[in-house]
């Protein structure tokens, strides 16, 4: 039986896309008769560990970095390498697949240092997604990031070298802009493939009789644009008071104080449903299916090349989106007429985009549902990648 090792240092709670990705991977692996072992954050809660039968392995993740200097980078590599070394007794039965749903250069270099010491058979496959560019709050062309490109390139070169025994590495990301940058940096092919998500494709047609519903959902950190919502909603209500807003946001971390003020203001608005709960997968999908359009007022500098799990899930559900012009994940959707652009990213710009989407919802929804139907007919990309990784293994490796 083929076995897989899933490494996600950022997975610590049932909220958000890391957990959904893990559930999706577990289901897909099981369907292919592959046994998966999940290694997650050392701060992962009991619900995560029970659902995935997971191991608390990683003391740090990409979200912990602040200075983003060479010294910090190398320190994080040392910590992650020690985490992986300590996890050796819990890795299990000689895995042939290593899947990294949230890979960054720190994890790449740490894994490269430990692969030769793990009980792998002679040939293995790596499947990884590059989620950031490479700092999660900075654009790919930020000068401070350019200073570290050499370090990043060396990390992935080391990971490739660790597979010289005949292994294979599949590298993915979610936008063409990020793929182009990493192709240049890494000198290898990078596929554009949405990361794992939980929702099923397709949805019922919107109910035109009920009030129009705009959804904003996810982690309420600064680049997601929640700070614009109170004023933007006021402006929308001045024109269309019947529009209903569904605003969900997990409030934690460095942005806690600012986002707490946002939600304290929103809870007093009529026709606005507010939640800061950590949603179960079923609750999350229910929120998505209540919406007529998904609002993504993301910082276009940060998201110029970065993907969006919420956008991917809206696409699979046939939901149109309202997104900031310049966000790479939405460029194709803008061109196809299934997304409304926010330009400029201000309260006034968001309000204007919401009102424009309201006026054009029939066209936006039609194009979004056509895209969802197209996706449903295609081979699932995650299953395809796993099958490809297994195919690269020799028959003896798959026993």
Tell whether 159 and 108 lie within a shared domain.
Answer: yes
Instruction: Indicate the range of 12-16, 166-170, 258-262 predicted with least confidence.
Output: 12-16
Helix residue ranges per DSSP H, 169-255: 176-186, 229-239
Per-residue confidence band for 336, with pLDDT thresholds at 50, 70 and 90: very high
Among residues 8, 44, 1, 41, which one has the least CA distance to residue 24?
8
Query: What number is the average pLDDT over the span 71-87?
Result: 91
* Confidence check: pLDDT of 275 > 80: yes
List strands edge to edge, sheet with 272-275: 272-275, 244-248, 213-216, 293-296, 321-324, 339-342
Residue 138, SS3 per DSSP: coil
Q: Contact, 324 vs 297, CB < 8 A?
A: yes
Residue 308, SS3 per DSSP: coil
Q: Contact, 155 vs 187, CB < 8 A?
A: no
The rounded distance, in Å, linking the Cα atoms of 362 and 320 is: 10
Cα 351 versus chain centre, distance: 26
CATH (domain of 258): 3.40.50.2000
Query: What number is the average pLDDT over the span 306-319?
Result: 90
* Confidence check: pLDDT of 266 > 90: yes
Tell whether 165 and 261 lie within a shared domain.
Answer: no
Instruction: Indicate the range of 130-134, 204-208, 383-387 predicted with least confidence.
Output: 204-208
Tell whether 175 and 49 lie within a shared domain.
Answer: yes
Query: What number is the average pLDDT over the span 231-240?
Result: 97
Q: Specify if 398 maps to a domain.
A: no
Provide the pLDDT for residue 394.
53
Helix residue ranges per DSSP H, the chain: 17-31, 46-52, 70-86, 105-114, 143-146, 149-161, 176-186, 229-239, 256-266, 281-290, 309-317, 331-336, 347-359, 361-377, 381-391
Distances (CA, A) of 65 to 70, 207, 362, 363: 11, 45, 43, 42
Provide the pLDDT for residue 25.
86
pTM to 2 decimals? 0.85
Per-residue confidence band for 256, with pLDDT thresholds at 50, 70 and 90: low
Q: Specify if 77 maps to a domain.
A: yes
Query: What number is the average pLDDT over the span 167-189?
Result: 86
Query: What number is the average pLDDT over the span 260-265?
Result: 90
How much is the CA Rg of the chain, to the nearest whole Å?
21
pLDDT averaged over every residue in the chain: 85
163, 198, 233 - which closes a domain: 198
The contacts of residue 317 (CB under 8 Å, 6+ apart) are 199, 201, 202, 203, 288, 289, 372
Per-residue confidence band for 206, with pLDDT thresholds at 50, 70 and 90: low
**Host domain of residue 125:** 3-198
Tell whether 15 and 162 lie within a shared domain.
Answer: yes
Tell whether 239 and 307 lie within a shared domain.
Answer: yes
Among residues 111, 51, 123, 68, which one has the least CA distance to residue 87?
111
Provide the pLDDT for residue 396.
43
In the DSSP assignment, the letter for residue 199 is: P
* Confidence check: pLDDT of 362 > 90: yes
The contacts of residue 94 (CB under 8 Å, 6+ apart) are 3, 119, 120, 121
pLDDT tens string 23-69 = 888 888 888 899 888 999 988 888 888 888 899 999 987 777 776 77
At 7, list the tokens: 């490494």
Q: Specify if 349 maps to a domain.
A: yes
Per-residue confidence band for 377, with pLDDT thresholds at 50, 70 and 90: confident
Q: Specify if 61 maps to a domain.
A: yes
First to last CA, the chain: 5
* Confidence check: pLDDT of 397 > 50: no
Q: Specify if 141 maps to a domain.
A: yes
Provide the pLDDT for residue 120.
59
pLDDT tens string 103-161 = 888 999 999 988 877 765 557 889 998 877 666 677 666 776 676 778 888 888 898 88
Query: What number is the average pLDDT over the span 274-301?
Result: 90
Tell whether 176 and 283 lie within a shared domain.
Answer: no
Tell whether 46 and 144 lie within a shared domain.
Answer: yes
The rounded distance, in Å, linking the Cα atoms of 77 and 271 is: 48
Per-residue confidence band for 240, with pLDDT thresholds at 50, 70 and 90: very high
Instruction: Indicate the range of 148-152, 275-279, 335-339 predicted with least confidence.
Output: 148-152
In the DSSP assignment, the letter for residue 250 is: B
Provide the pLDDT for residue 399.
46
Residue 196, SS3 per DSSP: coil
């Amino acid at each position: 039986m083929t076995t897989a090792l899933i490494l996600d240092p950022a997975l610590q709670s049932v909220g958000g896309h890391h957990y959904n990705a893990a559930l999706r991977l577990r289901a897909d692996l099981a369907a292919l008769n592959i046994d998966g072992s999940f290694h997650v954050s050392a701060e992962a809660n009991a619900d995560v560990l029970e659902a995935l039968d997971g191991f608390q392995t990683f003391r740090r993740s990409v979200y912990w970095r602040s200075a983003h200097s060479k010294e910090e980078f190398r320190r994080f590599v040392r910590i992650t390498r020690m985490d992986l070394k300590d996890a050796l007794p819990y890795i299990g039965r000689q895995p042939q697949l290593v899947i990294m749903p949230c890979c960054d250069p720190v994890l790449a270099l740490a894994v490269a240092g430990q692969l030769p010491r793990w009980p792998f058979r002679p040939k293995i496959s790596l499947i990884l997604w590059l989620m950031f560019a490479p700092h999660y709050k900075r654009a790919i062309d930020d000068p401070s990031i350019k200073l570290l490109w050499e370090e990043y390139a060396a990390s992935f070169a080391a990971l490739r070298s660790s597979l010289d025994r005949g292994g294979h590495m599949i590298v993915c990301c979610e936008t063409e802009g990020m793929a182009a940058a990493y192709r240049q940096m890494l000198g290898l092919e990078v596929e554009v493939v949405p990361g794992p998500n939980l929702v099923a494709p397709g949805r019922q047609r919107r109910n035109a009789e009920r009030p129009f519903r705009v959804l904003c959902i996810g982690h309420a950190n600064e680049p997601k644009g929640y700070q614009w919502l109170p004023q933007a909603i006021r402006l929308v209500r001045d024109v269309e008071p019947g529009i209903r807003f569904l605003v969900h946001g997990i409030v934690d971390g460095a942005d806690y104080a600012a986002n707490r003020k946002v939600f304290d203001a929103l809870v007093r608005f009529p026709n606005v449903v507010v939640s800061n709960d950590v949603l179960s997968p079923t609750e999350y999908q229910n929120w998505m299916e209540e919406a007529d359009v998904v609002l993504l007022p993301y910082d276009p500098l940060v998201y110029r090349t970065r993907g969006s799990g919420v956008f991917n899930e809206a696409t699979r559900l046939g939901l149109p989106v309202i997104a900031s012009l310049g966000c790479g994940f939405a460029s194709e959707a803008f061109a196809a007429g299934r997304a409304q652009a926010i330009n400029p990213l201000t309260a006034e710009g968001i309000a204007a985009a919401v009102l424009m989407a309201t006026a054009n919802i029939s066209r936006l929804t039609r194009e979004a549902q056509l895209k969802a139907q197209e996706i449903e007919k295609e081979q699932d990309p995650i299953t395809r990648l796993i099958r490809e990784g297994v195919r690269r293994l020799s028959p003896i490796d798959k026993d």
